[in-house]
Amino acid sequence: PKPFSPILARAQYSTAMPSATQSQKPNSAGKLFEFQSQLPKLPVPALGETLPKYLSTVEPLLSKEEFARTKKIVEEFGQSAQAQELQRRLEARAAEPGRANWLEEWWNDLSYMGYRDPVTPYVSYFYTYKDDKLRRKPTQRAAAIVRAAWAFRAQVASGELAPEMARTTPLCSHSYNYMFNATRIPKKPSDYEATYDLGANQHITVARNNQFFTLELVHDGQLLSAAEIESQLDRIVERADSSAAVPVGVLTSDNRDMWADNYQLLAQASPQNAQTLEKLQSSAFLLCLDNTKPVTREECHRTYWHGDGANRWFDKSLQFIVCDNAKAGFLGEHSSMDGTPTCRLNDYVLDQTLNSKVDLGSATVRAGLPEPEPLRFVTPPAVVRAIEQAAARFGKVVGQHQLRVLQYEAFGKDEIKKLGFSPDGFAQMAIQLGYYKLYGKSRATYEAAATRKFLHGRTETCRSVSTDSVAFCKLFENPTVSVQDKVAALQAATKTHGAYAKACSEGKGVDRHLLGLRLVLQPGEEKPAIFQDPAYADSCHWYLSTSQLSSEHFEGWGFSEVVPDGYGIAYTIRKDALIFHIAAMKNEFGLNSDHLAHYIKEAATEMRATIMAAKLGPKL
């Protein structure tokens, strides 16, 4: 979900450290990776394809005079020797032997590893689970989640997991290497990803009451049953709740440079701390047993998005969160994995647990299970001060955010399809119309589109605003326009959106290509006018940063805004409902998530009513 305008402001590209990858990764000879050698490389689109497409995306955001100026700049750039040279350099980079993907290093650094704002709330994303009616006791639900996640991990480790497919097209499985036993490590100027041997590290880390414990999941060569895991988790809860500890985990919530400094401070405070860090970071995943009882959608979303900042280790790739009322969710660290693989993992975990498919193992708890090992940090005064300061900064950042969850239950995917529309296109236009109702204008909108049909592909920007979407918003708000014309405008807008989204999935958007052309500029070379044109920066300033991930088992998901005057909208399209998580800052720009939610709801209702009225014909 993290598209990033701030990359425009970064002065230079810095190389991230390579992964600290040790011996056993997932089995690359297995089914999961069977298509990797056949996957095409991410293409470099032709200038003649990208530049007209770019103009079509900026036209609806500009006045006639501004667009005429931008059109001249873009056309001159397209005919220039400099453009041809930049394109040649980019194509040469893409063709380099051994380079899997021309964008990969740049994107991972600019958007993730080199980005210095806190990963939570700004980069990580979360999923909210449906309730488990079979398991009302929190440690019982947690144990079932662990068993299901471990079964998925086993399929990843063996390579037996089937690769994801887009209909008949295989998707890249590279990011599965960073799913389990992986963590982000803070470092200046760029963080890096560490992965650990899956076979040698069969433990998870459990967080409770700001304390961490190691739970070995294999005893005497046998995987712990759900009953045994539950028993071990009960021991952890009892022990953690009867003691207190300095909340070291909150250090991971900080600005990355500050965390990098404090990481060294923590590691060097005692040899024990370095060992504790290694044990925590090498674990398969984190299980957070929160002592809170969230009820409302907003309370749940805030719990999984950021919590209190202390009962977490935000650098871990996977964190499963179970609250004291057995509400549950998931938090994903975004730097090495996008949402689709973790959506698959969580959908599997929920399908297994909610539908009684999970193998729970024996109901008998073996005698002599070793006590879960507390992970203790030595915290001298300098470390305690750092923790207190990080906690204060976390509280300030989280306090600057507003959140509204719109659970729209009037209809969902099934009804939208019956009406003759693409569910994603319909949801995007509901967001566009809602924003237009609130602000009286359309502004630059980012929708994440996956490019995983290419080797090491991640995402491209689907620019959701078009001349057709703007016309649709204006016509819908005009009471003199017929319902037939309104529906025709909606059809045109969703068709244009769908065509652009398809082009993005083929690696033929405009944003990554233009970024590549900028990044092959050499020091001292003149920046092309196209990148100095205010229209370029404005069209990349994402007032709406949106993304869809859907599972029938989710009660929503979310992430933050990417600019101070914009909204972050994560949405889920279920058969019977549309769920929108709407996040924004509380600042001088006066944004209002409640008001935007109100208008998106109004837009969706009006869109359906208008389509129904048009179907009934002119008598209405």
Residue numbers annotated as active site: 334
Calpha distance 378→264 (Å, rounded): 13
Query: In the numeric block, which tokens belong to residue 122?
Result: 């700004």
Calpha distance 168→242 (Å, rounded): 54
Check residue 316 and report its DSSP letter: B
Calpha distance 304→302 (Å, rounded): 6
Check residue 109 and report its DSSP letter: I
SS3 7: helix
Do residues 305 and 224 touch, judged by C-beta distance below 8 A?
Answer: no
Calpha distance 283→297 (Å, rounded): 30
Calpha distance 608→239 (Å, rounded): 54
Q: Residues 593, 595, 598, CA angle at the centre, nearest 5°?
A: 110
Calpha distance 592→338 (Å, rounded): 28
What are the Cα distances from residue 491, in Å, to 29, 54, 70, 596, 600? 46, 22, 29, 23, 18
SS3 313: coil
Query: In the numeric block, which tokens belong to residue 156?
Result: 């990843």
Calpha distance 113→192 (Å, rounded): 6
**Burial readout 124-150 (b: 16 or more C-beta within 10 A, e: otherwise):** bbbbbbeebeebeebbbbbbbbbbbbb
Calpha distance 268→547 (Å, rounded): 41
| Phi, psi angles (nearest 5°) of residue 5 | -75, -35
Report the Cα 433 to chain-centroid distance in Å. 24
Query: In the numeric block, which tokens belong to residue 450?
Result: 């996956």
Report the Cα 210 to chain-centroid distance in Å. 25
Query: In the numeric block, which tokens belong to residue 94?
Result: 């893409």
161 contacts: CB under 8 Å, gap ≥ 6: 30, 31, 32, 152, 155, 176
Check residue 361 and report its DSSP letter: -
Residue with tokens 């009322």: 325
Calpha distance 330→353 (Å, rounded): 15
Calpha distance 447→166 (Å, rounded): 18
Do residues 18 and 192 touch, judged by C-beta distance below 8 A?
Answer: yes
Q: Helical H runs in 161-253?
A: 226-241
In 269-363, the DSSP E strands lie at 286-289, 318-322, 328-332
Closest Cα to residue 504, out of 469, 542, 460?
A: 460
Calpha distance 297→403 (Å, rounded): 10
